[in-house]
Amino acid sequence: MFNSKYLIGLSLLGTLYLSSCKIPALTTVDPTVKVPEKYNKNSDTNSVAAVKWRDYFTDPYLQNLIDTALVNNRELMITLKEIEIAQNEVRLKKGKILPVGGVRGGLGVDKPGRYTSAGAGDATTEIEPGKAMPDPMTDFNIGAFVTWEVDIWKKLRNAKEAAAKRYLGSVEGKNFLITSLVAEIADNYYELMALDNQLEIVTQNIKLQKDALEIVKVQKEATRTTELAVQKFQAEVYKTESMKYEIRQNITETENRINMLLSRFPQPILRSSPTYLNDVPRVIATGIPAQLMQNRPDIKQAELEMEAAKLDVKAARAEFYPTLEISSFIGLQAFKPGYLAKIPESMAYSLVGDLVGPIINRSAIKAEFNMANARQLQALYEYEKTVISAYLEVANQMAGIENLNDNYKLKVKQVDALNQSISISNDLFRYAKADYLEVLMTQRDALEAKMELIETQKARMSAVVYIYKGLGGGWQ
């Protein structure tokens, strides 16, 4: 136990230190960004973000790909290890709050000079009659010790709470990675289906062009057209056939992007039959913007990082205050091992309290405090940027779905009209009512329109995927 004089001395020392030091004021900042109340006039609280990804993406081949990625994806494994590191960081910070204790034993030798107070005292001291103190003096000790930094200013507790916030943030980071992984696999899967459809359309168009080429050859034999027309049609066939190999290369690259996400070497991706143009994107319930704060893992992670940065500022400010450290020891001590068994004569104990205040290195502590303040502002700006980005992402996808649906309807009408024009131009050409250039241009326009129709459908499906991700779905 401390005696009253010692406690009074510590108090006076602490008061003197604090009164002589100028400690920076604690400043914490809060977000100023507020999202709008609604996305549009028809917004309600129903949100597709609450739907599990397995219920949102019902294609069994796509579900199997996502399941494989959630087990094998290396980036996800790295993130899981980051969570484990953050969890152990919390344990480490928590351990620093508690006293540190243990058992120790020691052996030492001490030889003071003869003409010193210690040496003269040892020379004239007898432990037992006729037995002088040994020279040199050995020291044997064994006992238990405890050291404890008393967390007066909550420095250690704030550091522990900051580590806990970052641990929770790492969990949210994992959830956001899952959301992104699910969305990326789904988008590439739909890309594959689009390429399958394009390959099928190109193959059909090649057959159509070859039929037209045969008609031109017959007409040339009948001197109703020239070799120029034959070569023009032949070149168009070659051009369309070359497109097949470009599409096949795109299919290979897209399959390997999925294989990369699944952390496996190249292999074919099983997928549903290419009925891509018949797929109707689902109606999306967007909910209200405030739900983004609860559903988006990246927003929750940024918020936790901001809270951790605030606690870091408090911990850094506490470095300006004196630190109270208590250490104690109890055990046995003697200059010969045989005397260790003589109790209570060989018993030794100590209890020391140190109040340490930084003076010389205050500039370093101030620099650390300023850095913590800067990181706090950085975390705040990152949080606000994430909130704005999330809202704009959803708003863009909502507008995209609406505009792409209207665009798709017009593309369908364009393709239907061009399909009819192909038949008409072929008949007119057969009866010399149209020249070969009109037939060529009609076939080319029809092919381009069909390819654009598939691209528009792909964009529709991508918008459905990414608005689900944008609303915070996919990690459940």
* pLDDT tens-digit series, residues 49-99: 999 999 999 999 999 999 999 999 999 999 999 999 999 999 998 898 889
Spatial strand order of the sheet with 100-110 comes to: 100-110, 137-150, 323-334, 347-356
Question: Per-residue pLDDT averaged across 351-357, rounded?
Answer: 84
Longest alpha-carbon distance in the chain: 143
Of 221-230, 236-245, 323-332, the range with the highest mean pLDDT is 236-245
**What is the domain class of 100-150+323-356 according to CATH?**
mainly beta
Residue pair 143/348 in contact by the 8 Å Cβ criterion: yes
Sequence ranges of the chain with CATH classification 2.20.200.10: 100-150+323-356
**Of 101-110, 120-129, 142-151, 298-307, which has the strongest mean pLDDT?**
298-307
**Burial environment of residue 222 by CB neighbours within 10 A (0 to 12, 13 to 18, 19 or more):** exposed
Confidence (pTM):
0.85
As annotated, the residues of the chain forming the CATH 1.20.1600.10 domain(s) are 20-98+153-321+361-470
Do the Cβ atoms of 472 and 51 come closer than 8 Å?
A: no
C-alpha–C-alpha distance, residues 13 and 358, integer Å: 13
- Interval 357-405: pLDDT, tens: 777 778 888 899 999 999 999 999 999 999 999 999 999 999 999 999 9
Amino acid at 370: N
- Superfamily of domain 20-98+153-321+361-470 in CATH is Outer membrane efflux proteins (OEP) (1.20.1600.10)
Q: What is the pLDDT of residues 227-281, one digit of tens each?
A: 888 898 899 999 999 999 999 999 999 999 999 999 999 999 999 876 766 676 6
d(CA 144, CA 338): 20
324: which DSSP letter?
E
**DSSP string over 408-433:** HHHHHHHHHHHHHHHHHHHHHHHTTS
C-alpha closest to that of 277 among 408, 83, 130, 188: 408
**Cα separation of 98 and 100, whole Å?**
7
Share the mean pLDDT of the chain: 87
